[in-house]
Amino acid sequence: MLDMSTRTAFNEEHAMFRDTVRHVFERELVPNLDKFEHDGIVTREFWKACGEAGMLSPNVDEKYGGLGLDFGYNAVVAEELAYAGSSAGITLQNDITAEYIETYGSEEQKQKYLPGMVSGDVIAAIAMTEPGAGSDLQGVRTTARKDGNHYVINGNKTYITNGQLADVVILVAKTDPTLGAKGTSLILVDSDTPGFARGRNLDKIGQHSADTSELFFEDVRVPITNCMGQEGQGFIYLMSQLPQERLSIAVSCQAAAQRAFDEAVAFTKDRKAFGKTVFEFQNTKFTLADLKSQLQVGWAHLDWAIARHMRGELTTAEASAAKQWHSDMQGRVIDAALQLHGGAGYMNEYMVARLWRDARVTRIFGGTNEIMKEVVSRSI
């Protein structure tokens, strides 16, 4: 269980909400972790259970079915999900897709999608990455060509979280390919639209319970009113939402690293070697001391970043630095925690093995850490 005794970003209301989240996960998530990993997807029943408990997009305005709360409540869900050892895509819905629709969507779009996203009846994905365009979103080739009062969409997307379950996709497409980034728009595509197809549930190194898909758009026709915000402003919208997206990743990285550390402490205190516990060896104690120091720094920085974001002060450079540092730290901590497990750490039956597999991608998605350094350097 995460220790909240020294945290500074949360209040008593957050603590009460955290208790609810923990109870729901204990009942609905933990007993099903292995099943979700094996199946490569979480169930809609799990989504519904989270929705019924107010854990899906708690910051959405009450008039759209949400609780109208601050980002701290989103962070609570992300922390507890990562600490439980799950990669389920609910944080994507909480911190990214719902935020896009509430911020840039028309009133009609908000009324259509947000209540279902809060209840768990509607699952959303955002389709940015393409086979030839990853961190550099200016290279997107998917097009949305005007034909009367419709767009005709053609293109492919890949590595899309929630792709197998999604009822609606926020599509990043070029409405005017001649304008580069200035020709990028965000368009809502319902999954039952003719011409839309899902590819396979991709076979990943880790994060097995997060369904991740290829998506195909072949002459998909959607009304022009499905454009979110202004046409051609999509790239600006994407850049504007980067602080919350990257902070969300940092939150999950920190909590997962803490779980790996806790697993290592418990294992080394129980495991015997040469007549004493592994924990009693100086190398073990010094390694754990170093990891604890890194985690202490991480929690302090994370609370600083969460508090700044809730005040609307967190910059893109600061969020990028947080994403880069916490994901790098996560990799170091979990790798060391696995080493302290010895051969057991390489066995899938141990939680640390799952945490280690799941951690590798956090230095890649949301913008690679190399790109994060580039972003930070521009602020110097």
- The Cα–Cα gap between 3 and 93 comes to 26
Nearby residues of 13 by Cβ (< 8 Å), 6 or more positions away:
none
Task: Specify the pLDDT at position 135.
Answer: 66
pLDDT value at 154 more than 80: yes
The catalytic site residues sit at: 245
Assign domain 125-232 to its CATH architecture. Beta Barrel (2.40)
Contact 209/88 with Cβ under 8 angstroms? yes
According to CATH, the topology of domain 241-377 is Butyryl-CoA Dehydrogenase, subunit A; domain 3 (1.20.140)
pLDDT value at 176 more than 90: yes
Assign domain 12-122 to its CATH architecture. Orthogonal Bundle (1.10)
Q: Where are the domains of the chain?
A: 12-122, 125-232, 241-377
Task: Specify the pLDDT at position 35.
Answer: 97
List phi, psi (to 5°) of 147: -140, 95
Structure tokens given for 95: 């911190």
Q: Structure pTM?
A: 0.95
**pLDDT tens-digit map of 75-107:** 999 999 999 999 999 999 999 999 999 999 999
How many CB atoms sit inside 10 A of residue 147's CB? 11
Task: Specify the pLDDT at position 136.
Answer: 66
Angle ∠(250,334,297) on CA atoms, nearest 5: 50
Structure tokens given for 17: 């909400």
How many CB atoms sit inside 10 A of residue 175's CB? 21
- The Cα–Cα gap between 281 and 291 comes to 16
Strands 212-223 and 227-228: unpaired
